[in-house]
Structure 1
Amino acid sequence: MTVKLRFFASLREKLGEAGTLQLPEGSTVAAAREALMARDDRHAQALARGRAVRSALNQKMAPETAVLAEGDELAFFPPVTGG
């Protein structure tokens, strides 16, 4: 399945504004984060475990256990953003 990605605040500065990610059906937010960290060092550092990173699924806050579906929008951002 394909999930739309968005990054905000400092994550957008490091990783860019948007993109897509291919994942197996039934994947979770945590699995998406792991797949992104495996892309390259830049993603691994920005999304590393232990870093305060929040996620939103279809514009609603989502836990890492949330299950993704085809066409979902998944956003990652630091806990405090301005704007």
Structure 2
Amino acid sequence: MKTTLLLFGIATDLADSSSLTLELPNKSSVASFKEFLFNEFPEFRKMSSYAVAINESYASDDTLIRENDVIAIIPPVSGG
């Protein structure tokens, strides 16, 4: 199934892009998406933590991803 991946912060630098179109297996969960992401972009393992949002709502590991969903990788924000 086709999805769009939006990347923010350090994730943009690691993928060398702010947006990608991905083809994921049907009935993928956020947990399986993370494994897919680490296999496709091993440098993402450098991020100590990050949130995943689907269609602008934060998602847990058991959330299922659907065709044409927009997935966002949101790394922690620092600064003052």
Give the shorter-chain TM-score range: 0.7 to 0.9
Distance in 2 between residues matched to 1:81 and 1:5, nearest whole Å: 22
Q: Which runs of 5+ in 1 are unaligned?
A: none
| Identity within the alignment, % | 28
Superposition TM-score, scaled by structure 1 size: 0.81
Superposition TM-score, scaled by structure 2 size: 0.84
Task: Quote the RMSD (CA, aligned, Å).
Answer: 2.0
Deviation at 1:17, TM superposition (A): 0.4
Which residue identity lines up with residue 9 of structure 1 in the other structure? G
Q: Which runs of 5+ in 2 are unaligned?
A: none
Number of paired residues? Answer: 78
Runs of 4+ more than 4 Å apart: none
In structure 2, the residue matched to 1:61 is 58
**8 A contact 1:9–1:81 mirrored in 2:** no
